[in-house]
Structure 1
Amino acid sequence: MTAHPRPRTASRVAAVQALFQAEQREQSLEAVMQEFIRHRLGDPPGAGGFAEGRVPEAEVTLFARILRAAASEAALDSDIAEALPPEWPLLRLDAVLRALLRAAVAEILMPDGPPARVVINEYLDIAHGFFSGDEPGLINGVLNRIAHRRRAGEFSEPR
């Protein structure tokens, strides 16, 4: 991201980090969101960027929108659980993987959000930054199932 900043991707990375932090510290998403906005988003002079836990290119508006959608969507975890293989209950997943799926599904469920394929591709890119194993394949499968169920109209038309 340093050579060609991608603010929307950075916003999504920050949302995953914030969802992870909220779960791990048992904090409200609103409190975590405010902490990120004040201390982790943007890159003030002299700050160390990603190396110091900052997300310099993130767009606050998209970041906040993803978190608010994740906090307000009651069906989020149930959608994810239904799309997972039966032998992988939601709580068995790595906490970063859960946070990534929650952020992605929150965006998929936004009625005026970007196309589902864009959301899936973005979160797959992010997944490759966090995981080097089979996790991106699992994420792709889960997000595709949810997107086809929740946004079927986007998949019934030719590309």
Structure 2
Amino acid sequence: MTAPVRQARSVARLAAVQALYQMEVSSAGAETVIREFSEHRFDRDVEDMTLAAADEAFFADLVRGVVGHQGEVDAAVAKRLAQGWKLERIDATVRAILRAGAYELAHRDDVPTEVVIDEYVELAKSFFEGPEPGFVNGALDAVAQDVRS
């Protein structure tokens, strides 16, 4: 995979996490949020800088996939949480990261396990300075053991 394609997927993953978070806090539907990102956020200049292009089809697949498989995705993540912890107790951004990562591990066989985990750990690092990136790493590694042979 070429560097521009990798970067476009990285941007798509960030946008998907933002979209999932937005959907949770606003109760907006997947298609509404996908359309908003497509029309108003992708390929826009921000403060005189053009943002890196996003793989919009990959973004839409992640958002639709998490929503369409939410029960399965949440169960895969919840199974690997410490005893007594519930998915609802986790920070909403971390929850969005875990959901997107778990969906990608379960349903995007075209993406290597290490790439999925590394990408979402890096996303966690961009949002958090504390233990969250390590938590994301451990949780997604455990989910990968369950959903990938």
Partner of 1:62 in structure 2?
58
* Partners of 1:87 and 1:140 in 2: CA distance: 20
Structure 1: which 5+ residue stretches go unaligned? 153-159
Of 98-107 and 83-92, more deviation after overlay is shown by 83-92
Contact 2:105-2:113 within 8 A present in 1 as well: yes
* Seq. identity, %: 37
Structure 2: which 5+ residue stretches go unaligned? none
1:25 aligns with 2:26: yes
* Partners of 2:28 and 2:43 in 1: CA distance: 22
Number of corresponding residues: 144
* Partners of 1:18 and 1:112 in 2: CA distance: 22
Partner of 2:36 in structure 1?
35
Partner of 1:72 in structure 2?
68
Structure 1 stretches of 4+ with a deviation exceeding 6 A read: none
Residue 111 of structure 1: CA displacement?
Answer: 4.6
The one-letter code of the counterpart of 2:54 is: A
Query: How high is the TM-score relative to the length of structure 1?
Result: 0.83
Partner of 1:85 in structure 2?
82
Which aligned pairs between 1:144-159 and structure 2 lie closer than 5 A? 144-152=141-149
SS of 2:54's equivalent in the other structure is coil
Query: How high is the TM-score relative to the length of structure 2?
Result: 0.88
Task: Provide the aligned C-alpha RMSD in A.
Answer: 2.1
Partner of 1:135 in structure 2?
132
